[in-house]
Amino acid sequence: MEFSYLGLSHLETVLEIERESNPFPWTEINFRDCLDKGYYSLAFEEGDILIGFAIMAISSEESHLLNIGIKESRRGEGLGEKLLKKMILAAEVMGSKKIILEVRVSNNVAYSLYEKLGFEEIGIRKNYYRLPKGREDAFVMSKSLKKDILSHFFFSKS
């Protein structure tokens, strides 16, 4: 399994994963928009087959995990955990103080993964997610990150 940056060539498979993951999936425009904005986006591949992806807006104060998905047939093998750990490390290396995310209140699997990796529930956003009919609340979760993991590279006296 290998990581690379997510690019336009991955979009078709990303959309397939997204459609099998969400009742109201992101569209191609949503993904293109994230790539255009330069969000930190990883592809998780086996050979040249995309197994998963994750997208995060990284900033020094607070990074925001925007999406993560593993191909349905490959879930439950520890791959989502590996991918999320990479995203956490990236935010830490960039000096981010914390990561926040939203998760559907019905998404027990993702909630359990986030909890396992140290995210804590900090609130609820009412009617945050669209459904084919109606809306669903989101839990907001947050994880504080190790401080200044590589800050000496960026800020040490020259």
Ligand X SMILES: CC(C)(COP(=O)(O)OP(=O)(O)OC[C@H]1O[C@@H](n2cnc3c(N)ncnc32)[C@H](O)[C@@H]1OP(=O)(O)O)[C@@H](O)C(=O)NCCC(=O)NCCS
Question: Which of the residues are catalytic?
Answer: 102, 114
Quick check: 91 and 58 in contact, CB under 8 A? yes
Quick check: 42 and 54 in contact, CB under 8 A? yes
Closest-CA residue to 51 (of 40, 38, 42):
42
When asked if residue 46 is in the footprint of ligand X (CB under 6 A), the reply is no
Q: Which of 68, 87, 88, 91 is in the footprint of ligand X by CB under 6 A?
A: 68
When asked if residue 79 is in the footprint of ligand X (CB under 6 A), the reply is yes
Residues β-bridged to residue 81: none
When asked if residue 90 is in the footprint of ligand X (CB under 6 A), the reply is no
Place of tokens 């590279």: 153
Complex with ligand X: residue 35 or 111, whichever CB lies closer: 111
Quick check: 105 and 114 in contact, CB under 8 A? no
Q: Which of 112, 127, 144, 151 is in the footprint of ligand X by CB under 6 A?
A: 112
Q: Which of residues 116-135 bind ligand X (CB under 6 A)?
A: 116
For 83-94, give one letter per residue: b (16+ CB within 10 A) or e.
Answer: bbeebbebbbbb
Residue range at the interface with ligand X (CB under 6 A); choices 31-39, 56-64, 110-118, 120-128? 110-118
Q: Which of 2, 28, 81, 120 is in the footprint of ligand X by CB under 6 A?
A: 81
Q: Which residues bind ligand X (CB under 6 A)?
A: 21, 68-70, 75-81, 103, 107-110, 112-113, 116
